[in-house]
């Protein structure tokens, strides 16, 4: 049976250099549940090293946590990538790491903290996670597709680091699964501004870097259960799954 699930599928942990240090498993799961969410995704910049502990923390408290990553293409376009299996997300991470130049400047960009389920620091990622990879938009979308994942263009209503901000259009033939609109743009404004792209499903997530932002911008999905595969079906209006208008 299909039912409506509340989802915020764009949340950063303390691994993202721009994410607050408080963005750790117990705190994020607690806040998500307090906001009435059924499903979240941790999508750190160019890394998935904190994914496993968040999934475990969510499972213990009845919150679905989807493996994800926010990848930056060489054109400096942010792309949300979501997966059914951790292994596929980590396979993408391996490719990202092979194509991610530079080292992080902690004093400039922030600390990149790898944690355990208790939120204790177990490592510091030295890579330039905030930077652009050497992979093109087309390459990233293709690889994610080959891993049976989802690719959503992040915050297309923003000028910086967005597909439309960087390219001015969505190239023909790009197999995106959806377009994300940030909290800055209302549903009505989005329908007017992006009328030419109505063939895509639009979603709204928080892009939270602080606990208080989790769940402030969400999407309702009509699904059978909480999973990335179900979300992908909803984005493509398959077998009754869909994005629910709110």
Residue 179 confidence (pLDDT)? 97
- 150-176 mean pLDDT: 95
With 70 as the cut, is the pLDDT of residue 225 above it? yes
> How many Å apart are CA 25 and CA 179, to the nearest integer?
27
Phi, psi of 157 (to 5 degrees): -85, -5
With 90 as the cut, is the pLDDT of residue 190 above it? no
Length of the chain: 246
- 186-206 mean pLDDT: 91
The sign one gets for the Cα dihedral 3, 141, 211, 127 is positive
| Matching residue, tokens 């009435």 | 36
DSSP assigned state of 56: H
Per-position b or e across 152-170, b if 16+ CB within 10 A of its CB = bbbbbbbeebbbbbeeeeb
Q: Which of 27-41, 180-194, 231-245 has the lowest mean pLDDT?
A: 180-194
- 45-67 mean pLDDT: 98
Burial class (CB in 10 A: 0-12, 13-18, 19+), 34: exposed
161 is written with which tokens? 């680091």
* CA angle, residues 181, 214, 95, in degrees to nearest 5: 70
- 136-161 mean pLDDT: 97
With 70 as the cut, is the pLDDT of residue 95 above it? yes
E strand map for the chain: 3-11, 39-42, 64-72, 78-82, 113-115, 121-124, 150-153, 178-181, 202-204, 219-223, 242-244
With 80 as the cut, is the pLDDT of residue 245 above it? no
With 70 as the cut, is the pLDDT of residue 195 above it? yes
pTM above 0.95, yes or no: yes
Residue 246 confidence (pLDDT)? 62
- 90-110 mean pLDDT: 97
With 80 as the cut, is the pLDDT of residue 138 above it? yes
Phi, psi of 41 (to 5 degrees): -135, 135
């Amino acid at each position: 049976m299909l039912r409506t699930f509340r989802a915020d599928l764009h949340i950063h942990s303390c691994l993202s250099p721009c994410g607050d240090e408080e963005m750790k498993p117990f705190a994020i799961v607690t806040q998500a549940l307090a906001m009435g969410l059924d499903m979240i995704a941790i999508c750190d910049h160019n890394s998935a090293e904190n994914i496993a502990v968040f999934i475990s923390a969510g499972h213990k408290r009845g919150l679905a946590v989807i493996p994800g990553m926010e990848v930056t293409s060489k054109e400096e376009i942010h792309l949300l990538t979501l997966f059914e299996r951790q292994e596929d997300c980590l396979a993408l991470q391996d490719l990202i790491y092979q194509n991610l130049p530079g080292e992080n400047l902690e004093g400039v960009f922030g600390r990149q903290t790898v944690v355990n389920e208790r939120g204790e620091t177990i490592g510091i990622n030295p890579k330039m996670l905030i930077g652009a990879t050497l992979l093109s938009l087309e390459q990233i979308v293709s690889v994610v597709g080959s891993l049976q994942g989802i690719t959503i263009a992040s915050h297309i209503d923003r000028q910086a680091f967005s597909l439309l901000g960087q390219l001015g259009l969505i190239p023909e033939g790009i197999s995106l699964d959806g377009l994300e609109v940030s909290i800055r743009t209302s549903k009505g404004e989005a329908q007017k501004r992006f009328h030419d792209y109505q063939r895509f499903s639009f979603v709204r997530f928080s892009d939270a870097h602080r606990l208080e932002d989790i769940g402030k911008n969400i999407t309702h999905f009509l699904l059978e259960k909480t999973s990335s595969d179900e979300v992908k079906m909803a984005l493509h209006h398959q077998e009754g799954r869909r994005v629910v208008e709110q």
